[in-house]
Each structure stands twice: as structure tokens, then as C-alpha cells.
Structure 1
Amino acid sequence: MDIEGAGIDHLIVQYVCGEDRAYDGLVAAGPVSLSRLLDTRAGRAAQSWNDALAEVRERLDALGREAFERLSTLQALLAKAFPDALFDAVADDPALEPVVMWTLQGLSDPRVLPILERGLRSPGSTRRQALHGMVKHGSAAHTDTIVACLGDEDDRWTAFEVLGHLGDERAIGPLLAWLAEDDRTAMMAEQALARIEERIGGPVTRPVWLDLELKEFTASSPLQPSRVTEVPAPGQTVVNGDVLVTLESELFETRLCADRSGTVAEVRVAVGDEISDAVVAVVLRARRRIG
């Protein structure tokens, strides 16, 4: 039996069960901890892993989704602690690329980009994770590849977000074509357009708008007392995605964003019986961009 490996498996399971101190033991064990975790997540778990899981099955079942999230968090932490081990493992075994794709988003390393680029050519969740990574690591050189992802319904909204972050003028034409689609898709395309146009200093051509009904947005703080630290003024123009209201309490910050473009028609802050204490209402004369 691989005693060293079994010990690492036990520490990984401890961390997943909520014992943060197990991370110190994994770091002390060195890069082999990351290698062991990657093998496990790639479906190559040793018997000692299954034994360690069996010992805490009830705890894992109780944690549910949190257990999976802690496993992903542990991989990200170990990748930052031992980046060379991560990239060496992927170089030796390209089948690990889908396993590490999500983790790559948090790394600042030139070796990340080629893996993300290959991920964009893969179907399903691997491409979606690679798209998320492009928010941080992508550039205008990737615009055409990201635009091509708009054709996949599962990837479309993420691709809109990435194009907005990249800010490349060449994406404007393709994005304009999506303004004629369903309401939610059009709003995502509009938001990406607004970010690009803000970066390049304004629209390339005069936008075409369709006036909509008045829409009210409300925000309240989960704790009182709270204070309003940001709110628009009547007459102010906002675009889809802009922060309308920020409420701060001792422990929480609540931010309310517009899901429409438009002009602020009215702002109410705890007025009479219309809205309760610590609530802000912004009435927007909404509009939808159609060209």
C-alpha cells in the first residue's frame, strides 16, 4: 500500500469535509499533493481514496454541493502553491486539461493561455470554462474565436460577457445582429455593446432605440441601519448593467444593477407607505436597443 499516497488522500478528504488545517499538511507534502488530487479528479483514484471517502460518507452527504466546491477550492489553492507541478502534469498528460480548465482562471502565468485556447475548441463545459478564463487572459486576438461561440446556445451568454470585457471594435457588427433575438439575449448583447463602446469612446454609428414602459427597480439592505451610498439622479441616462443603487450596512453591501437601458424618471428613498424603511426605488423610462 502506498502509505504516502494514502496519507495525502486522507488529508484531501479532511479538507473537503471542512477541516481547513488539512491544507497545511498537503502543502508540507509538496507537489505530490496536487498530482494526487488531479489524478483523483481525472477518475484515476487509488483504493486509498475510496477508503478515505468511505470513512466520512455521511459527512460528505450532509455537505452536498459544498463538498464539491471545497474540492475545487483546494485544487485552486494547490495550483497557486505548486504551479510548475500543474503545468508539468498537463504537459505530460493532455487529458488533464479539462480537469484544470476552471482552475486556470485564477492563475497569472503565461502558460495558461495556450491551454485556454485549446479549451475553446472543445465542446461542452470545457469550452464554457475556457470562455470564463478568457475574461482575464484573453485579448482582441481572440475576438473571432469568441464570436464563433455565440452560435452555441449553451455558451452564448458567457461569450457576450467575454466580448464586453475584451472591448474589440470588431465584435460590434456581430453583436448588433443579436439585438433582434429574444429579450434576454438582446439585453446581454446590448450590455456587451455598451462596454465595448465605452472603451472605444462611443458608438461607431448612431444607436437605434425602442421606447418601453416605465420600470421600477427596488433595493433593500438585509440589515438595518443602512445608508444609501450611491443612487442616480432624475434625468440621468443609464445603460444595461450600470449600478443603480448601492446600500451599505455594517456587514453587507447591496448593489442593484439595471437590466435595461433608459433614463431615470424618479428616485424614491423610503417615502411614506409606498416603500418600507431602508428601501430605494428607481423608476426608469426604459428603452431597448434594436440597432
Structure 2
Amino acid sequence: MNARYAILLFCLLPAALQAADYGPRMEQAQWIVTQEPDLCELAQPVPRYGIARFHASPGRALRFYLDPRIPLNAPDVGRLSLQAPDWRHDLIPQDLGAVPAMAGDTLLRLGREEALALYYGLETGHEVLIRHPDPGRGARDIRVTLSPLRFREVLADFRACQGELRRLDFEILDDWRIHFDFDESRIRPDQHGELRRALAVLRDNPDARVVLGGHADERGTEAYNDALSLRRARAVQAYLRGQGIAAHRIETRAFGESWPLDTASTEAAWALNRRVDIWLTR
């Protein structure tokens, strides 16, 4: 190799192996509360990287998601830690350990325990540091820093949002959703793929039970929609029983028009709201 090119390569190599850092500057740091009928989110945009978000929904414990603009090509491992910002010398760093890093639109999907560790860390003034492999930019790894600035300012709104979520008397472990035509309780052919996915998980978890929540759109009387939503739930129940799921594992509930996913009075909203939620629980 030509000596001049060898020296150039040697000089460039350390730069290529450095970590790529992402995080909001002090003036950019913000936390945004989003409220919809069946979810509350507390999110921080990360410039040039993506978005980090805490997610709460009925029947589920708090979760944390990290959505990058450029996904990993294959599953890998990331690492979480809490660190003291430059202006907080009183805080003690904490290593929170390794977590699975996934390929696809969501890189991290953390359950209650890990999500609460990040949540309380930010509340006490720590920065959250997330390290994961580089998806092909040429860096050694990626470092994503979440800022605690303005986090506590929006906690009251986020907690109030969670307080308004519908309360369920069971914990949702997994869920699927199928939709129905107007004024119909027959299962549409295009919904059988989702039913098969639910069925596979039910067969793999023979000790788990399933709750079927039937829903209707806002058109029609309340009493009629209650009955229609129950017929929809029972149609899914009949399908599952026909596929070998024991009757004692299945519970049906009718929510009528009381739980819309979209509160708009439009065809698109009504189509979304005509559904059965299939909830896997203990």
C-alpha cells in the first residue's frame, strides 16, 4: 500500500469508530403530552434521530418506546444508563443494564420496570443515555441522550391524562383487533389473518385467558349498539371455540359505543370504532 494512503487511512480510522451522539440542545429540549381516547403519551423529539416516548393505555402498565429515523437491519443489544447533566454534580450515575434492540420502526420497547426506571430518573433530574449499535452510518455505536429539562413541567398533565383512561380489571399482556362492516357481526374475510395471529399465541399460552371486548360506532341507539357489540364479541368467541380454544378461557364484554378509538363523526372514524378487541390476560 502506498505510504501516503496508509497514513491517511490511519488518520481517518479513529473518527469512523467514534460514537455518534444525538440529543436535544438545552433550548430544544421539550416534552410533549399527547392524549387520545385510549392512550396517553409523553414524548421527547430527538433532533436528527427520532423520538422517545412513554406510553400509557387502558389495562397496560407504563411502557417506553424509542423510534429511530433509521432502523437497525437486524436485532441486537442496547444499553441504558442514567447520568448527571453538566449542571447537576449532586446526582449519581446508574447503569441500568442491557436491553434488546429491535430491527424495525421501534428500536426499544421496554416494559413497566425499565420504563419506570427511566421515568423516575428523568423526574429526579438525570439524563437518560441509550447506547445501541450503529445501523450503518460508519460509527462505532449510537448514543442517544434524553434531557430532563422541562420533564417535570408536564408531569401533571401526563398524570391527569392517565387518570382519565378507562379502567380495566385485568392486565393486558397482548392484544389484537378486528373490524366489522356497518351493522354487521359477521367476521370479514380480510380479518382472518389477525385472528390466526391471536390464535397462535393463545395456543402457545394454554394457561392464559382471553377477554373479547365488542364495540360499535355511535350511530343507532345506545341499547342497540350494546347488543350489536355483544354479538360481535360472541362471533369472535365462536371462532376461537371452533379452533379448539376452551370455553372457560374466553370472556366476552360489550362496550357498545362508549369507547371510540376516534371521536370524529366520519366514515373513517366509524369504521375504526366497529371492532372487537382481543385481549390476552392472566
Range class of TM-score, shorter chain: under 0.3
TM-score by length of 2: 0.25
Q: Which has the higher contact order (CA 8 A, sep 6+)?
A: 2
Which structure: greater strand fraction? 2
TM-score by length of 1: 0.24
